[in-house]
Amino acid sequence: MAFNINDVLSDFPILSQRVNDERLAYLDNAATAQRPRQVLAALQDFYTHDNANVHRGVHTLAERATEDYEGARVKVQHFINARSSAEVIFTKGCTDALNLVAASYGEANIQAGDEIVISIMEHHSNLIPWQQLARHKHATLKYIGLTAQGQLDMAAARRQITDRTKIVAVTHASNVLGTVNPLKELAVLAHQHKAVIVGDGAQAVGHMPVDVQDLDVDFYAFSGHKMMGPMGIGVLYGKAALLRAMPPYQYGGEMIGDVHRDDSTWADIPFKFEAGTQNVAGAVGLGAAVDYLQGLGMDNIQARERELVTAVLPRLTALPYLTVYGPQDPRQHTGVLAFNLAHLHPHDVATALDMEGVAVRAGHHCAQPLMEELGVTTTARASFAFYNTREDTDQLIRAIKETKEFFNRGTI
């Protein structure tokens, strides 16, 4: 059953404010989502009642904090359908999770002459770690290109992934094009060549159902703040056998088995990869975000965002002075819509839209190789979440038209 949008909006007080004396249309969800009251309440409740360090304390607050922390891990496990909660590693965010894979699995398994394959649409967080790993290991970094429709070129993927490929790292959904990539098909292809596949789920988790067992990904990374959770918390999912064989990413407290003067042993997963004091409150908030999303239903959330894209995308592409990047079919799209307004710098466009209460992002979106592929340096980007409304889509279109008229006096 679809959710009631008015009930949802009441959960997000930040969206009711006015900006520059206009109603706020928050369309920067690809950068960070807003948090519902339930997540804010969970954070306050933890710090008010349960705040303590986890795992080794035997006093009541420490036990409650540990229960909260490990309970959040189990919630995440069920949310992405991991086989075990031990396959859920808490990190600072998606970038930290991807660096963990590169610095641990990559360092241990990549040799000179090996290949690492990524796509041209990767966010820098799923590009630079592999670029730098390939450089110092004397491996080859290869790219999968795009089709003319802005989708991943699977024919090119089949050529690029070979028996020398050891790692395939691809975003589940593009933070610029809105393209949803066939991660399951890529996993089959990677495994045929005995390579592991790493999925960047930052733009997917929170927007669509994600089942890591069905996808058969070896690693999958995402951030809490893009799925209604707090900043500073993220997740790396990894298959247990791979995680157990990997060396630690960082050293210190909590990740050890035994420490002697000349040697140490490591704890089992997931603790081997969680050195030091963790962001316990962040994990609690992430667990509350999972509860909230599951309460709405991920199928309902995906349908709601697709409805919004179906409403706004044809209106954007109909504007003769606007270039919209990525697939033109709403069924092949997340809520991310990148565009340029002819003869205007995207930063000017974003500033003008903000004066109309419309919050969008402008820049290269941490995807400079993709910008080069598209033949631009920057774009503006509107990105929708399930709490956005048709009124937000109308406000975006109206603000773009007014921006065009203001800057160009109707001459575009």
Active site residues: 366
Distance, CA of 151 to CA of 148 (rounded, Å): 7
Interior/surface letters 386-402, b for 16+ CB within 10 angstroms, e for the rest: bbbbeebbebbbebbee
Residue 150 near residue 179, CB atoms below 8 Å: yes
Residue 366 near residue 175, CB atoms below 8 Å: yes
Asked if the bond preceding 330 is cis, omega within 30° of 0, the reply is: no
Residue 309 near residue 384, CB atoms below 8 Å: yes
DSSP state of 171: E
Q: What six digits make up the tokens of 190?
A: 């990677």
Residue 53 near residue 277, CB atoms below 8 Å: yes
Distance, CA of 11 to CA of 118 (rounded, Å): 38
Distance, CA of 405 to CA of 411 (rounded, Å): 8
Phi, psi (5° rounding) for residue 395?
Answer: -65, -40
CA atoms within 13 Å, Cβ hemisphere of 346: 20
Q: What six digits make up the tokens of 138?
A: 């004397």
Distances (CA, A) of 205 to 222, 277, 299, 307, 350: 7, 26, 12, 18, 26
